[in-house]
Structure 1
Amino acid sequence: MDKKEKVALENTLTRRFFLALAFEIYQGVAGLYDLGPCGAQIRQNLISQ
């Protein structure tokens, strides 16, 4: 995956709230991500299998 595809994927996931930058929400440390409701459900499904 090249850089252009990675940026496009990150923008789509952020726009649809699968994940969000923690810095934008909490004004804390940059570089960390929080999962939105859909992202948390996908994570839970992956862990349970």
Structure 2
Amino acid sequence: MLLESKLETLISIIRHSLLILRRECNSNKQKNAEIVLAFTSFNVTLWQ
């Protein structure tokens, strides 16, 4: 049950980050996109 909840949180973190990433790429702010990507990687690392 705990694992399931962790997975759901991880998936929502990734989804949220991808949405931000897509928006930043569309507005052509590559630096911000890189920051979001780094943040996502950090969160994924925390949840492993």
Per the normalisation by structure 1, the TM-score is: 0.36
Q: Identify which of structures 1 and 2 has the higher relative contact order when contacts are C-alpha pairs closer than 8 Å and 6+ apart.
A: 2
Per the normalisation by structure 2, the TM-score is: 0.36
Q: Which has the higher strand share?
A: 1
Q: Which has the higher helix share?
A: 2
